[in-house]
Structure 1
């Protein structure tokens, strides 16, 4: 099976169609859920194309991505990504990009490019405020996982619908599993103010000595969390059959450059997910996700005091997804070819 970096490669030639620059490629059928390409993987193809489009400009880094999934991507058809500049400003460039198959737009995106670097200082920057939101400031968000990847227990069960399950590894955080129980103190009642929701966390590793976390792979990592409906205790999800959770919208804000020093794992990240709402029809539900650096790969290295202080949040994302039967997955894939 090809590593993720090979799975998002595009053909070297490009073409023009009106105002758009067109990149093309082939879907790797081994990065699917059931028979439909993983939504984050499909979005990674778009990000790869737009980064090529922006490579010779001042604004090389995607810093915010908004994607709308209009029609399921087919794993058997070639694709094109049509890219054009919407607006180029002094500090940011807005780019529109659509993933197209068989003449139909499957994914429509708006991507903001800029410079993904540490906050500059100067008279026009409120540095005294921004410092408070960086570790070790009192207002800083801290790494949400309770275990160090060196000591975390590898999860033996991998979802059977993942065609890529043999090239990834995860170690789920038991603290969140416990919090989701129906008798946990965090459960709400009539007198509760706020609160509620379902949480999940895990170390997640892309296997392969040459594999590296890249900007396009962040999109994939934002979309491999365990969905809230399946995290509910059995008594709370009666009637939930084998399900597919198709992404309808996905937004990602990239927060920090991917570190390359020895203090950070090159192919492992920490993932935190929280979901607060699920509504009928179609089991529509929300997902908030954070992607964090890891101090080591799973089962490697050694835990040292203060390891969380060095780690950074690479990206946050929000998503709207549905709950449908896995049978729909196969039917949707067949329809996507038409």
Structure 2
């Protein structure tokens, strides 16, 4: 059991040729939702393998990740098969599969290139601005109701102004005369609690899958009997676009705290299928530390955006899936 940086360790196992490598490691038993590894954490292991694969090339930065979760991973050894699909002048396309017990659990297509600072930034009136209201120095910690075993390694403070927009009496609720609109929003300052931890491109994959899903944000009257703490939201597909390099720790950017913002609009059958859009932003200070400085918002950068399709399932399914996938040990 380890903090995120150590739980994401992979080793080069075998090189088949110049364009194909096999990495291996072990799923950490603490980075799970119930008994099943968190999808973003499992994807981060694939991203780490691919970054290692690209380390000696001119295209070392992940630009875009598309992942399909074919089957839930389990707490067991894994291998990641990485191969170069196409190497171009500006980008390299890499394919990678995470395999456990001779089954492909996650398949990915990752575009690598050279990531540079964005051009459309404040004070441009066309630039996207940090969507959180409360400065992280005064944000109040929020209890995590999700069945996450890794809670001791993280903390967050949900933004109360965004939470208020989900209230049934909020102006953002729709009516018969509304055009568009609807959905729910959520945002929080998120911190890796280990003093030596740091936000990295690999941890972005985990962060993109760490938020409150649309069904859990609905008022009880709209959930149709769903109980969030007894519900598993397995990810089916997850796409991440890396928008900017991660700034080094400074008086304007924290090392291990980020801002998370998400929206969800559609929820339906089968299997409680729903959508999510997530933004990951830099933070000016660590959560609960420092003080508000003039112009702090103008200096924050969106590091990545993500979209996913997820399901809503009983935690009993989570437990049974883990039991079914448990590796058999020879005595």
Scaled by the length of structure 2, the TM-score of the pair is 0.95
Aligned to 2:90: 91
Of 299-308 and 269-278, more deviation after overlay is shown by 299-308
What secondary structure does 2:11 align onto?
Answer: coil
Residue 12 (structure 1) shift: 4.6
Aligned to 2:145: 159
Residue 66 (structure 1) shift: 0.2
Deviations 1:251-307, CA, capped at 9 Å, x for gaps: 000001110041111000000000010111111000000000000111101002211
Q: Is 1:150–1:296's contact at 8 Å kept on the other side of the alignment? A: yes
Aligned to 2:129: 142
Q: Whole-Å Cα distance in 1 between the matches of residues 19 and 141 of structure 2?
A: 49
* 2:19 counterpart of 1:31: no
Q: Whole-Å Cα distance in 1 between the matches of residues 310 and 100 of structure 2?
A: 22
Query: Aligned ranges for residues 1-338 of structure 1 at < 5 Å?
Result: 1-16=1-16, 20-75=20-75, 77-118=76-117, 131=119, 133-155=120-142, 157-159=143-145, 161-241=147-227, 242-262=230-250, 263-337=252-326
Cα 1:166–1:261, aligned 2, differ >3 Å: closer, same or farther? closer
Q: Is 1:14–1:24's contact at 8 Å kept on the other side of the alignment? A: no
Residue 11 (structure 1) shift: 2.3
Q: Is 2:116–2:244's contact at 8 Å kept on the other side of the alignment? A: yes
After superposition, the CA RMSD in angstroms is 1.4
Deviations 1:164-188, CA, capped at 9 Å, x for gaps: 0111110000011111011111101
Q: Is 1:149–1:296's contact at 8 Å kept on the other side of the alignment? A: yes
Q: Is 1:200–1:272's contact at 8 Å kept on the other side of the alignment? A: yes
Gaps of at least 5 residues in structure 2 are none
Q: Whole-Å Cα distance in 2 between the matches of residues 19 and 334 of structure 1?
A: 36
Q: Whole-Å Cα distance in 2 between the matches of residues 18 and 302 of structure 1?
A: 50
Q: Whole-Å Cα distance in 2 between the matches of residues 90 and 281 of structure 1?
A: 43
Q: Whole-Å Cα distance in 2 between the matches of residues 337 and 109 of structure 1?
A: 24
Q: Whole-Å Cα distance in 2 between the matches of residues 11 and 93 of structure 1?
A: 22
Residue 14 (structure 1) shift: 3.0
What secondary structure does 1:230 align onto?
Answer: helix
Q: Whole-Å Cα distance in 2 between the matches of residues 12 and 46 of structure 1?
A: 12
Gaps of at least 5 residues in structure 1 are 120-130
Q: Whole-Å Cα distance in 1 between the matches of residues 7 and 182 of structure 2?
A: 38
Deviations 1:64-100, CA, capped at 9 Å, x for gaps: 000000011011x210000001101000000000000
Scaled by the length of structure 1, the TM-score of the pair is 0.93
